Structures are given as C-alpha cells and as structure tokens.
A = this chain, B = another copy of it.
Amino acid sequence: MNIGQAAKASGVSAKMIRYYEQIGLIPKADRTLSGYRDYGEAEVHMLRFIRRGRDLGFSVAEISDLLSLWRDGSRQSGDVKRIALGHIAGLNEKIARLQQMADTLQTLVSCCSGDHRPDCPILADLEGSAERKA
C-alpha cells in the first residue's frame, strides 16, 4: 500500500506519516524497489491508533508511551490509566484557564455598550486603569 492509500485508510495525512517516521514515533517503513514506502494492515492499524490518540488530545510523546504499552502484551492497565489520568488533569487545567478568560471577557463585554461611542470598559480593563479582581 502506498503512503497515500495508507493516509486515506488511517486518517493521518501523508505528510504526518513521514513526520511520525522521522521523529521515531513509528518504525521506518519498508520500501519498494523504487523507494516508495510500503504499508500493510498492521501499519494502518497503528496509524489509526495514533490518530485516535491525537483526537483525544494526547501529545506525540504520550502517544509514544501508549504505543509501547499497546505493543507490550504484558502491560499493566494501571500504567495506561496513569497516563490517561495525567492527560485528563492537563486538559482540565487548560479548560479552567480558558474558562477564566472567557468569564472575564464576558463580564467586560456585558458592560460595554457596543455602539458608536468610544467609551469602552474592555479597553479600560486592558489599559489597567480600573482595578480588577480576577
């Protein structure tokens, strides 16, 4: 299977497949006589694993760990769970930060007349002229 077909079958772009190979996330692909990368079902399966991991927000480094565990038949599910819990914690932190931003902005926006007049509590906040609590 060509890289293009593997890309279609896995949902990972050809560009990214080459990149994952380059950084060592996946082993170097076999090559045809003419130098084309050649993939089988196992490789596509792995790529789909990676794709799903990315969709769940795992970093490439985390996916690398997950792949090792996946390949390791004698893994302990506790190790997988630990990675997942760590990732959830990271997600929740990010969410909290973004939510904080959104809330602050929402407050400012709802205080802004939003018409033709120049007075604007949003700019006032950015300027720092008003004391803010958050």
The count of chain A contact residues (Cβ–Cβ below 8 Å) is 53
Q: Is the interface of A mostly helix, strand, loop or mixed?
A: helix
- A56-B117 in contact (CB<8A): no
A45 is an interface residue with CB less than 8 A from chain B: yes
Which of chain B's residues has its CB closest to A94's CB?
B98
A32 is an interface residue with CB less than 8 A from chain B: no
A29 is an interface residue with CB less than 8 A from chain B: no
A24 is an interface residue with CB less than 8 A from chain B: no
Find A92's partner among B66, B102, B112 (CB 8 Å cutoff).
B102
A82 to B: closest C-beta gap in Å: 8
The digit string for A30-48, where 1 denotes a CB below 8 A from any CB of B, is: 0000000000000001001
- B70-A127 in contact (CB<8A): yes
What would be 30 A-B contacts, judged by CB atoms less than 8 Å apart? Answer: A52-B125, A52-B126, A56-B105, A56-B126, A57-B101, A69-B120, A69-B123, A72-B118, A75-B120, A76-B115, A76-B116, A76-B117, A76-B118, A77-B112, A77-B117, A77-B118, A77-B123, A78-B113, A80-B112, A80-B120, A80-B122, A80-B123, A81-B112, A84-B105, A85-B109, A87-B105, A88-B106, A91-B101, A92-B102, A95-B95
